[in-house]
A and B are shown apart, each in its own frame.
Chain A
């Protein structure tokens, strides 16, 4: 739905049209010269007094590649800090480290267009219908062409309705489930030994570990029938090519559950061929690109660690400066209590952390800064605390690139004229860089891409001319491979012809996942399990949604229906407790209680109560000060006495 309404956002009358600087407590319109001059002076002063690490730079995973690259370059090369990150809260990219460790690449391995060639497709966790409808559509169409569709997750979302097998597991049991599936595949001899022998390391350890998973006991822990787990394992392991997709944007997912996913793909040899692979789905339009280009505190563009001396040396040579060796701190730390007092200046690029509900008192943090620069289309909530607001051009008003979840670097052309006086975000960063002494000569966004090609080897063939020729190119897109790569690890990508001589040369690695402790059954008095998670409800407050007439109406419905927010409960559980939709109910844990409005929906698994993160009071009351929202809490629900 959202993509159909971009024009509404760009044409909103509320766009900020002039740069603003706070004077006497009020934001006042100033010239570009004054705004950028002010920032440069202030940044220099802060660096002088507190050191470079007192400055931090955050952007949104909706920012373009060019903007992201220049922002982290500005931080690293001009300011001298690795304090760069894409926004956190509703965003994260939890799988980067696991995927790099096990496969050497932090991205989806195959193409969405290949789904039609998959025999089996597993969709884990992500609500494709709401979050990634284009991919949801590709999955449904593949299923209509005959692919078997397996949906794993706690919620019965739209795509689950079309599934052949729906494994509605208890929250937090994914690693157990995939362990048991791996065991079934091994027991039935469905593993791809040829693939494992030639391309994977540490199989023996994995094999020893997998024996600990007992199908029947796992079935009980996961809350789904053993036969269903078995059927899913056979469908996945027995397929000629099988795809597994999971969300890379959920913070709740444990690393082990992602390791278990990768193990499963290795075990069945589902890498390096069309119609197979793993999809680490990035739910924001450019989360992939933002990470590729180094908006990470511990990784440089191209994912090389900041601590890697030779990788730093390569950047030093390109940028003609010295990149700091100390990894920076991430957005969670910058905005959370750990960053308190340490970060004096913050740059927020198209990112408004005050309404990403996961974090605590962000507004309080922002208020204490010596310098807050906000780059955005609109006056956001955090502009209330900003010292400088820099308005930028919107999607469609600038020529830039974005990288999709299947590694496709796409050129988004300029189709409309921006409001007078507005410049692309990357240009503002470049100009600021020049004012702070950098010798940057980017005439156009394509020049930035040119440099990205030198910094990130797998982008080296992705110049604008090449990108414009087709619907973008999938990386690795190099000079030798200008058409890009549809799927990774294919023939000729090293590992095809000649068998590696020793273990260390094999590209993939199994990582044994210690069997998670099976959760004890809930005590009788507290039969339900409380789960915390993201809800689309937060879109109400999203600044882009607020400026689109249609989206505003759609996302407001929940707010109007449940003005005090809600927690979600399954119809069966609600009926048992005599709770009605829209009425107050009480959540009783062993030593805490909270009250909230009930939203009854069959999407939620029976036996669980879903608490969206924006229901902060419920979280605080139930979890106490620890605030560990990944914990699962046994509760009982009661009607609130009138």
Chain B
């Protein structure tokens, strides 16, 4: 990987470089309070781009896997049915994607592209996507109270799967500097611009020191106990009472799955569009909903909410799935903690498993 230095002032110019190359650039922007949102960069909001911001509650996965996407259109024309697929092949770049979300997109890659059949709709989005990762180095802005990427080994600075990574080296005499690391050839191609300067060994050293420091800035409450939880779930050591308690606290809103950067489930549905025929849609689905596993005949293998809830954690923690995708479906972003009404987001569940396993050992 090649590294360069870019001044803090010049950093937003990376957005300009990408826009010149025909990308629609998406970046997080601040709203009320600590609210942030991914939005397309325009000439109007270009000046408000920030490097350090709380990670938006709504993950960037919608740029590769939209909440609702037309797959194809069926039309009757001249007595014949015509089926026409609709692809979105827009060139997009996400500027300021956090390391956890980079891991989230990688997980989606593994799921949609990593096995026998590649999902063509996903592939078209993904092939046109350029990721500018910003490493989380600002303890106030970047690290939220629910972040636990340290436990899932996905942050605070991604090691791969980005096109370009920006790492804030702080202020050092001459004004702020960022280290830019290219993760792909496309990323490296940007280095031809004059805004990128040579990096020295001292820069690397500073990166190392800052990274070490920032690792200590995560809230202790979020240190969870992942590997042991994976073991307990994979071996079927979780007693029913634990799943019952988790299920009782789930209000079946589906929020955890909609904000999860690594959740992949969707359903397919058809609807009529006046004057156009029928469109087939792919819509985000959620294992929290009872319609998710209900079969056409009415039988529902996961009818009780408890059974549905434990499925979420099997899917994310069981060894079988991790091995199948060579990637874990939890990236430590902490969004499920923020949205879960019943406080059964990932860290709480891992904690419940830890407590219960500890108790069992005492007995």
Which A residues lie at the B interface, using CB under 8 A?
1, 3-4, 7-8, 11, 13-14, 128-130, 133-134, 136-138, 140-141, 144, 158, 161-162, 468-471, 549-550, 553-554, 556-557, 560-561
A1 touches B252 (CB 8 A): yes
CA distance A129 to B67 in the complex (A): 24
A-B contact list, 12 entries, CB within 8 Å = A1-B288, A1-B289, A140-B249, A140-B342, A158-B252, A162-B248, A471-B33, A549-B281, A550-B267, A553-B269, A554-B289, A554-B291
The complex places the Cα of A140 from the Cα of B253 at a distance, in Å, of 14
Q: How far is the CB of B132 from chain A (nearest CB, A)?
A: 24
Complexed CA–CA distance, A578 and B276 (Å): 52
For B258, what are the chain A residues with a Cβ–Cβ distance below 8 Å? 4
Chain A min CB distance to B282 (Å): 10
B273 within 8 A of A: yes
Known: A7-B68, A8-B68, A13-B273. A137 touches B251 (CB 8 A): yes
B50 to chain A: closest CB distance in Å?
20
Interface string of B280-303 (1 = CB under 8 A from A): 010111101111001000100000
A85 to B38 CA separation, bound complex (whole angstroms): 40
Q: A3, A162, A468, A554: which contacts B32 (Cβ < 8 A)?
A: A468
A137 to B340, CA, bound (A): 7
Q: How far is the CB of B335 from chain A (nearest CB, A)?
A: 13
User: Once the chains are docked, how many angstroms separate the CA of A463 from the CA of B111?
Assistant: 49
B residues near A553, Cβ cutoff 8 Å:
267, 269, 289, 291
Contact with A along B297-311 (1 / 0, CB 8 A): 010000001000000
List residues of chain A with CB within 8 A of the CB of B274.
13-14
Contacts of B343 in A (CB 8 A): 137, 140-141, 144
A133 to B340, alpha carbons, bound, how many Å?
Answer: 10
B282 and chain A: residue at smallest CB distance: A549
- In the complex, the answer to whether B289 meets A549 with C-beta atoms within 8 Å is no
Residues of B within 8 A of A162 (CB): 248-249, 342
| Chain A residues within an 8 Å CB radius of B170 | none
CA–CA, A412 and B32, complex, Å = 12
A161 to B286, CA, bound (A): 23
Chain A residues closer than 8 Å to B33, beta-carbon distance: 470-471
Decide if B273 touches A471 in the complex (CB within 8 Å). Answer: no
Interface assignment of B271: CB less than 8 Å from any CB of chain A: yes
Q: Is the interface of A mostly helix, strand, loop or mixed?
A: helix
B255 close to chain A: CB less than 8 A: yes
State whether the Cβ of B254 lies closer than 8 Å to any Cβ in chain A: yes
Residue of B nearest to A8 (CB): B68
Please judge, given known A-B contacts A13-B273, A550-B285, whether A133 and B249 are in contact too, CB under 8 Å. Answer: no
Among A4, A8, A11, chain B packs the most CB atoms within 10 A around the CB of A4
Please report the C-alpha to C-alpha distance between residue A211 and residue B149 in the assembled complex, in whole angstroms: 60
Pairwise interchain contact A1-B253, C-beta atoms closer than 8 A: yes
- Give the chain B neighbours of A1 by CB distance below 8 A: 252-254, 288-289
Residues of chain A within 8 A (CB-CB) of B283 are: 8, 549-550
Select from chain B the residue with minimum beta-carbon distance to A161.
Answer: B248
Q: Which residues of B contact A556 (CB under 8 A)?
A: 291
Interface contact A4-B253, CB-CB below 8 Å? yes
Q: In the complex, what residues of A have CB within 8 A of residue B253's CB?
A: 1, 3-4, 133
Please determine whether B271 and A13 come into contact, CB atoms closer than 8 angstroms: yes
Instruction: Please indicate the chain A residues that have their CB under 8 angstroms from the CB of B255 in the complex.
Output: 4
B341 proximal to A (CB < 8 A): yes
Closest to A547 in B: B271
Q: In the complex, what's the smallest C-beta–C-beta distance from A4 to chain B, in angstroms?
A: 5
- Residue of A4, A140, A468 near B341 (CB, 8 A) is A140
Q: In the complex the two chains form, what is the Cα distance from A1 to B256 in whole Å?
A: 11
A133 to B342, CA, bound (A): 9
Contact residues in A for B67 (Cβ distance below 8 Å): 7
* Residues on A with beta carbons closer than 8 Å to the beta carbon of B281: 549
Given A7-B68, A140-B249, A162-B248, also A560-B298 (CB < 8 A): yes
CB pair A554 B298 closer than 8 Å: no
13 further A-B contacts with Cβ under 8 Å, apart from A14-B274, A133-B253, are A4-B255, A4-B258, A13-B271, A137-B343, A138-B341, A140-B341, A141-B343, A549-B271, A550-B267, A550-B286, A553-B289, A557-B290, A561-B298
| B342 and A549 form a contact (CB under 8 A) | no
